[in-house]
Amino acid sequence: MDIKRTIKYEADRVSGFGREVMAVPGCEALEHCIQCGTCSGVCPLSIYMDYTPRQVMELVRSDFKNEVLQSHTIWLCASCYACTTECPRQIRITDIMYELKQRAIKEKVYPKRFPIPVLAEEFTKMVHDYGRISETWLVSKMYLRTNPVAALGMAGLGMNLMKTGRFSLKQDKIERRSELARIMESVDQQNQKAQA
């Protein structure tokens, strides 16, 4: 039998992490959490999660940064907002999940070859480069980076899409790409300034 010590020491906490998250727009109400579990109760994906959404809330509030950022839960959130709608304390749990995803990406602590953050990154990149998303290209890029073998399994889907006229290899673009780029650049600069 493989037994593991599960105790948490104070040193395991990253002091201030909870406050930091709660300071982000949309995440303020977390301090009101009463751990009732409604979020988990309504979450369609909670049955696959390593920590239930409720547990994630408590881990954040208690500064267990590493546990939270490395959890599967944040990546399983499909942004359906059921938890946010039903939370009796009006905590915007979905937005907190977004914030945790951002932090995990920034700190590169998400599981390797895990398709969800890769999709998010590729998505973002495509918006930057072209201003619009072409689903076919996006999905292809994701598979190439995570599991090229699995892409083969998608061939049938592609065929079907082609049959119904929904498959396109054209990369849609906006005209004023430099305009969008400048906007994004400005946000970056402002953020850097704020951090400095």
Partner 1 sequence: MSAKKEELRIGFYVCHCGHNIASMVDCVAVARSVEKLPGVALARDYKYMCSDPGQVLIQQDIREHKLNRIVVASCSPLLHEHTFRGATEAGGLNPFYFHMVNIREHDSWVHTDRQEATEKAKALAEAAIRRVAHHKALEIKKVPIHPDVLVVGGGIAGIHAAMTLANAGKKVYLVEREPSIGGHMAKFDKTFPTLDCAACILTPKMSEVGSHPNITLWTYSDVTKVDGYVGNYTVQVKRKARYIIEDLCTGCQDCIPNCVFKEPKFTDDFNEGLGKRKPVYIPFPQATPQVVVIDPEVCLNFKRGKNPDGSPIVSDKCKKTCVEACGEKNAIDFTQKDELKEIKVGNIIVCTGFKTFDAGRVPAYGYGTYKNVYTSLEIERLVNASGPTGGEVILREGKNPDGSPKTPKSIGIIHCVGSRDKKTNIWCSRVCCMYSMKLAHLLKEHTDAELYNFYIDMRTPGKGYEEFYNKLLEEGTHFIRGRVGEVTDWAMTPEEEGKLVIRVEDTLAGVVRRIPVDMVVLATGLEPQADAGDVRRLFNMSCGGDGWFLERHPKLAPVNTFTDGVFLAGCCQGPKDIPDTVAQAGAAAAEAMVLIDRGYVEQEPNTAFILDQECSGCKSCIPLCPYTAILFDEERKKAYINEALCKGCGTCVGACPSSSIVQNLFEDSEIFSEIEGVLSYD
Partner 2 sequence: MKYAYFPGCSLKGTGKAYEESLLPVMKHLGVEMQELDDWNCCGATAYMAVDEGKACAAAARNLAIAEKSGLQQVLAPCSACYLVLNKTQHYLHEYPGMRQTVARALETVGLRCEGTSAVRHPLDILLNDIGLEAVKQKVTRPLKGLKVAPYYGCQIVRPYATFDDQTNPTTMDRLLEALGATVVKWPLKTKCCGGSLTGTLPEAGLRLSYILLKEAIKRGADVIATVCPLCQFNLDAYHPKISARWEPVPIPTVYFSQLMGLAFGLPDNQVVLHRGMIPMKPLAAPAPAAAAAR
Candidates 32-40, 50-58, 59-67, 94-102: pick the segment binding partner 2 (CB under 8 A).
Answer: 94-102
Smallest gap, in angstroms, from Cβ of residue 113 to partner 1? 27
The one segment of 44-52, 66-74, 107-115, 153-161 that binds partner 1 by CB under 8 A: 44-52
SS3 157: helix
Task: Give the separation between CA 70 and CA 109, rounded to whole angstroms.
Answer: 6
Where does this chain touch partner 1 (CB under 8 A) — which range of 33-41, 60-68, 72-80, 182-190? 33-41
HEC string for 64-102 = CHHHHHCCCHHHHCCCCCHHHHHCCCCCCHHHHHHHHHH
Quick one: which of 128, 3, 14 has its CA closest to 66?
Answer: 14
CB of 111 to partner 2, least distance (A): 12
Environment class of residue 182 by beta-carbon count within 10 Å: exposed (0-12), middle (13-18) or buried (19+)?
exposed
Query: Does residue 34 interact with partner 1 by CB under 8 A?
Result: yes
Which residues within the stretch 51-110 sit at the binding site for partner 1 (CB under 8 A)?
52, 54-55, 86, 88-90
Distance of CA 114 to the CA centre of its chain: 12
CB of residue 1 to partner 2, shortest distance in Å: 28
Number of residues that bind partner 2 (CB under 8 A): 65
Partner whose binding site includes residue 35, from partner 2, partner 1, none (CB under 5 to 8 Å by kind): partner 1
Token pair 């992490």 in the structure block, residue? 17
Contacts of 87 (CB under 8 A, 6+ apart): 38, 39, 93
In angstroms, the CA 5 to CA 3 distance is 7
**First-residue to last-residue Cα distance in the chain:** 50
Binding-site ranges for partner 2 (CB under 8 A)? 24-26, 44-45, 48, 76, 78-82, 84-86, 92, 94-95, 98-99, 101-102, 105, 115-117, 119-121, 123-124, 126-127, 131-136, 139, 142, 156-157, 160-161, 163-166, 168, 172, 174-176, 179-180, 182-188, 190-191
Binding-site ranges for partner 1 (CB under 8 A)? 32, 34-43, 46-47, 52, 54-55, 86, 88-90
